[in-house]
Structure 1
């Protein structure tokens, strides 16, 4: 396939210096980490980061450098994110991950790993970390591996194509920093060749079967992901319970309970948190929030119960959360 026939690429650059210090964290969390929840930095630590993205052909390549920070998977973000997994090459610094009970790891410079955003966990980047990453559709990765992807460390001993893939990722990272030297068609060709090499390496890894997740784990993770998406779409329903969710996902309640237990969470606890997160967002976005209507639209039939749950989750009642509304005379009517 010639580069002229490929989908044009879009190059995007983000830097924390583009935003004033007081707004820097919130802006970076929303613009640069739309699939995960970025955690606030330690007191006195100023966030400084740079992100370059190259989008095209159904995949996304990126490079990022930053000061130390942490992030975690969040159902409210994943429910609206594309179904992709991320191949990450650490170029500098260290990535520490605590992805699931008993699953911990430290990845230093030169390490290559595959990460599934749906795998609930926490990820911490060290000071001065730098990485190159490639986000690929889950369906393509699953077809290459022969199973649903999990969090995988990919070593040269397990896949002979790792050095070539690492070189390609490093090369594309350098090219994104030199936009004046190549045009859009050449970017498209580079991204496509990187995507094809990545899938080829994953196919090689899958053929040898090293460190791949077992079938039960795959099914549990898939059911959990499908259930969260179904719940996000049906949050307004007051009859939404484990039976309705299991029916919507197409599995038994027993298997649905097992899928959530494998993630260390409960079905109704996840549903309640998603409802509260959505209600909070609606309150914050409304000029004069109608709390009764918001609680009803988020699936709470009892406004008193909604208020108690909201305070237990966020430390303040819904009526206390929307501070601008209290100072707006129109909202006092």
Structure 2
């Protein structure tokens, strides 16, 4: 990873002050105070993998607080942060929930008032994501901020290992592979949170969690042409009838949701310059459409244009927001 800052070589009397100045200069909305009197060491590193920016932070024992004023000044209220714990121990508090993270755990925090304490030798990997990417599947971030995703959750253990390996091999990935792996990583994060929520919530919220898990499964398996309501019900461990009832309670139909997400993801890839060299049929098949003709018909019904017209508008700089869905599922 590229080193952005290190206290190595800095006068120990000034190392903590320089660290705080670095955070302020990079727009990090945190007030920090030391928790011990020993020599303070810190390091900040970063690496990009496709559209994702991964930041590795190492530092001594500190208490950090994100205040409302700092957050407003920072201007990142449309994103949430996923934090992978690489070393040390941290205690985080947000949205009336407190939790502890150790090596191998990860946690989500939002840009709202929060606090955390870390031990000496703390090291974490930070990943900022659009909040909408999480909430479109999992619901409000207030359901899972400061909720530890630990090694006892199988998908969380897989997610942590995936990102550890992704950082290690990132330089060997071509741009297309990096973008695909970044997308896989985000899907794993969503699936891990959904699984963890299923362990956490009370019975009255169980139906909401089942739907969240179902939507997370859809996101992770959009490219599977066999994905259908019975397949989905089996994957989340409920009867098809029960899953249909839960979706209907939320004004949705299972099959409509699957097709909606397939079309939305394909439209996003059509507008992505990184996918410009890929044939439209390849993009369609990658999102689970069995034929290009079927995809084109569905796409035009929803967006009022052919996939080729939509891609051309994006490439030429036209405002593709003009292609608003003609109908909702």
Normalising to structure 2: TM-score of the pair? 0.50
Normalising to structure 1: TM-score of the pair? 0.49
Higher relative contact order (CA 8 A, sep 6+): 1
